[in-house]
Amino acid sequence: MPSALMEHVEDPREAILKKVGDVSGVEVFGNDILVATYIRPNKTKSGIWLSDQMAGEDLYQGKVFLVLKLGPTAYLDESGEKFRDIKEGDWIVARSSDGWQVTLNSTESVTSRDAVPCRIISDLNIRCRISHPDIIF
């Protein structure tokens, strides 16, 4: 299925950030990057409904992520110079198999609805930055 614009109730970046909440208690080491997995809504802007199974596929095979936190040496070369301008809040693309899957739970509540699927990815495994998560499938 080609990429399709999805019908979002709210901006997907803001929705993920609100659901994740405060990540100041998470310390990412080295050149690793903590990213949240983008799970598409079930309905496209053109009105096509996607199955729940497709959302499940995003969880395990998703390629689009929102950068939540960078390790202290992410994108730094040997001389300490930054060689790529990836920052928190960027949408990035990576192979799902290149990251270690983790789940963040809101400190407010720990029900499964509040869980945020995430991955820890090495900076060199990020393939590109994109302007909006719906342009990649």
Report d(CA 47, CA 49) in Å as an integer: 6
Greater model confidence, 9 or 132: 132
* Percent of the chain topping pLDDT 90: 51
CB contact at 8 A, 94 and 127? yes
Q: Work out the angle at residue 28's Cα, subtended by the Cα atoms of residues 124 and 16, and round it to the nearest 5 degrees.
A: 90
> For the segment 52-78, what is each residue's pLDDT rounded down to a tens digit?
777 678 878 889 999 999 999 999 988
**What residue ranges do the domains of the chain occupy?**
12-135
Answer whether residue 7 shows pLDDT above 80: no
What's this model's pTM, rounded to 2 decimal places?
Answer: 0.86
**Weakest mean pLDDT among 50-54, 95-99, 127-131:** 50-54
CB contact at 8 A, 122 and 112? no
Q: Quick one: average pLDDT of 95-108? A: 81
CATH 2.30.33.40 fits 12-135, yes or no: yes
